[in-house]
Amino acid sequence: MDVNASALSPRRLTRQIAVGSVKVGGDAPISVQSMTTTKTADVEGTLAQIYALAANGADIVRCTCNDEGAAEGLAQIVPRSPVPIVADIHFHVEMALAALEAGVQGLRLNPGNLRKPAEIRLVASEARDRGVPIRIGVNAGSLHPDIYERFGGATPEALVESARLELAYFEEVDFSDVKISVKASSVATMIAAYRLASATFDHPLHLGVTEAGPLPGGLLKGTAGIATLLAEGIGDTLRYSLTADPVEEAKAGRQLLEVLGLRERKGLDLIACPSCGRAEVDVIKVANEAQIALEELNIPIQVAVMGCVVNGPGEARHADLGIAAGKKRGHLFIQGQIIRVVPEDEMVSALVEEAKKIADEGVAARLAARDVSAEAEAEADRAALLDARGADANHAAERITRIRRRTGA
């Protein structure tokens, strides 16, 4: 947690479950999930994707279990996976039972597709006996026709009612190791449904905007829904549903939690000014190059790329490390203090070099090792730019004099 989290609504306390080694709900950290796009029967290909997802922030990974080959693949994948595996079940109760035999740490059932009460109770009983949790995965696109007709569509009330009915079947066999999702592709419907679910159930909630689509629109829709609810204290685990490489889902989920202060930063947080007429460098180009170079280091550090030296170091003084451009040179700074001035074409390499040193030596040591003449050089650059562009382009002194005459001051 960081100071950002204190600005959010207090997190709603839910009952806690365990998906393998990952706790969900209660006071456990909000977890990130994604889903493989490989055929689960392709064991090596699926494992490669699972490892890529885990490396980019996924705490839990879901794999489809739609046929016997997939179930047999899960039996080989689960013991080799770096994170817990959830089997995705839609229509076939036999696949849910096979996935349990394969040793998965969780199931996801779609109540709109798996409809026979006896089969639902059977799966819940088997999961109960094995200590495996189930997610009731309600989806606006697959509501039971009776519920759809009764509520006049995929309304928030219909989504929550579908989850309630499924939960009732589970309770009949004394199974409560459950988390719930009520997803919709409409952001407004999704937000309303989760608010209602939060008021209805004490089970942990899995957040997501389903079928959000490709980047960048899908990312915007997912963030609009998920971030709104997290800010209200709702949600225990999440997934971005993007039409993209699933690694993008894991990255987005992790980054969202980090920027909200809900998870400790594990990697790079690069901030950059949006560029303007004052910029002394192509900020977009430098920021993109820095992003690529610094991400490879996998260091939990905030880095700023600023386009001008007049305001840059001050505006980004909260960053662990930054650089501001001016007069064909870059002013390298740590927490707002200038430590070195480098040629413009060395700005990115200087950032990478200093990031490594901060990781190895710490901020205090790097400040102690700063070039003592750098601040004077930087100040000279700032002064020259102010002089060239006009320190008082708005003629503020003259305007203040006229204001005082008007007000009699």
- 226 and 340 share one domain: no
Structure tokens that stand for 393 in this block = 């382009």
Residue 274 has what pLDDT? 79
- 93 and 157 share one domain: yes
Residue 399 has what pLDDT? 78
Compute the distance between CA of residue 179 and CA of residue 27 in angstroms, rounded to an integer.
15
Q: How many helices (H) and strands (E) does the chain have?
A: 15, 15
Residue 393 has what pLDDT? 47
> Residue 52 CB: number of other CB atoms within 10 A?
17
> What is the share, in percent, of the chain residues with pLDDT greater than 90?
75
State the CATH number of the domain containing residue 27: 3.20.20.20
> Residue 109 CB: number of other CB atoms within 10 A?
26
Is 16 domain-assigned? yes
Q: Are strands 85-89 and 60-64 parallel, antiparallel or unpaired?
A: parallel
**Has residue 43 got a pLDDT over 50?**
yes
Structure tokens that stand for 344 in this block = 């413009």
Angle, CA of 388, 394 and 396, to the nearest 5°: 110
Compute the distance between CA of residue 224 and CA of residue 238 in angstroms, rounded to an integer.
13
Is 102 domain-assigned? yes
- 156 and 79 share one domain: yes
Which pTM value belongs to this model?
A: 0.85
Lowest mean pLDDT across 248-257, 277-286, 294-303, 327-336 = 277-286
Top-confidence residue, 44 or 328: 44
> For the residues 272-284, what does the mean pLDDT come to?
76
Q: Rounded to 5 degrees, what are φ and ψ at 312?
A: -55, -60
**Has residue 304 got a pLDDT over 90?**
yes
Q: What is the mean pLDDT of the chain?
A: 91
> For the residues 213-228, what does the mean pLDDT come to?
96
Domain that holds residue 332: 269-389
- 293 and 204 share one domain: no
> For the residues 154-181, what does the mean pLDDT come to?
97
Is 398 domain-assigned? no
> For the residues 27-43, what does the mean pLDDT come to?
98
- 89 and 63 share one domain: yes
State the CATH number of the domain containing residue 300: 3.30.413.10
Is 400 domain-assigned? no
259, 293, 319 - which closes a domain: 259
- 46 and 170 share one domain: yes
pLDDT in tens, 390-406: 545 455 667 778 888 88
- 9 and 57 share one domain: yes
- 284 and 246 share one domain: no
Domain tally for the chain? 2
Annotate 31-48 with DSSP letters as a single string. EEEEE--S-TT-HHHHHH
Lowest mean pLDDT across 88-97, 159-168, 395-404 = 395-404
Query: How far is C-alpha 371 from the geometric centre of its chain's CA atoms?
Result: 38
Per-residue pLDDT band at 267 (split at 50, 70, 90): confident
Per-residue pLDDT band at 79 (split at 50, 70, 90): very high
Per-residue pLDDT band at 91 (split at 50, 70, 90): confident
Closest CA to 252 of 285, 301, 216, 205: 216
234, 259, 284 - which closes a domain: 259
- 47 and 188 share one domain: yes
- 273 and 253 share one domain: no
Annotate 283-334 with DSSP letters as a single string. HHHHHHHHHHHHHTT----EEEEES-TTTHHHHTTTSSEEEEEETTEEEEEE
Asked if 16 and 204 touch (Cβ cutoff 8 Å), the reply is yes
Per-residue pLDDT band at 407 (split at 50, 70, 90): confident
> For the residues 271-283, what does the mean pLDDT come to?
76
Is 306 domain-assigned? yes
Sign for the pseudo-dihedral over CA of 204, 191, 120, 21? negative
Is 403 domain-assigned? no
Is 358 domain-assigned? yes
Asked if 338 and 375 touch (Cβ cutoff 8 Å), the reply is yes
240, 259, 278 - which closes a domain: 259
Compute the distance between CA of residue 209 and CA of residue 225 in angstroms, rounded to an integer.
7
Residue 395 has what pLDDT? 59
- 62 and 190 share one domain: yes
Residue 384 has what pLDDT? 78
Is 397 domain-assigned? no
**Has residue 2 got a pLDDT over 80?**
no
Residue 1 has what pLDDT? 46
- 97 and 240 share one domain: yes
pLDDT in tens, 332-372: 999 989 999 999 899 999 999 999 999 999 999 999 999 99
